[in-house]
Amino acid sequence: MKTCVQRYGLAAALVLALLALTSCEEPGFNAGQAAGILTAQPVKLEGEQVLISDDQITCGEQKDLWTVNRQPDGGGKAQLLPAAKALHFDDDVVMSDPLTGTPAWVQIRGDFRLAAPAIQKITDEDPQTKIISAKVGVIIDHPCFGPMPLLGIHKHQFTAAADPVFRFKLTDTWKVDQLVH
C-alpha cells in the first residue's frame, strides 16, 4: 500500500508539470512582433504624407515623374505626371521651404510595403486591439526612392515630429487594421 506522501507526491509532481507547461506559453505581444507584422504585408494608406528629399525630387524630374516649378526662395511644387500617379503618388510634391524649415513632402494613396519600423509604443485598447506608434518608411517601387519616412499627425497637421499610429486587430492572427494617427 502506498503512503499518503507517495500519493500526494505524485499529484504534486503532476501539478508542477502542468504549471511548467503553462509557463511555456508565447510571451505577450511585443515590438518585434509588431515590426514583423508591419513589414509582412502591404498596408493601405489613404491620403498620407511622406517626406521626400531634394535628391529624390531631382531624380523624379529626370525620370519624368513630375515637372518642377521652383520658387526664387527655394520652395515650390512639382506637378505629378502619369508615371508618378502610377506609383500611387496622389498630389503634387510640395518642395521644402528654407525660410520656415518645412521639409518637402508628397501625398500617397494605395497599398504600400513598409520598411525599417522602429516601434515607439504599444498600447492595449482591448484584448483584440493594439495601438502601435512607430517610425516607418514607405517603399515606393522605383529607383529614385528608398524608404520614405511616413509622417504622423500632431494637432491636425502632418509632421515628422509625430509618429504614425497603427491599429492592429486580432482575428485568427494579428494584422494591421488601419492607420489611425
Dump pLDDT digits (tens) for 117-137.
Answer: 899 999 999 999 999 999 999
Question: CA-to-CA distance for 39 and 136, rounded, in angstroms?
Answer: 9
Give, as one character, the DSSP assignment of residue 60: H
Tell me how far CA of residue 13 lies from CA of 2, 5, 45, 106, 107, in angstroms.
16, 12, 54, 64, 62
Question: What pLDDT sits at residue 34?
Answer: 95
Dump pLDDT digits (tens) for 15-40.
Answer: 333 334 333 334 578 999 999 999 99
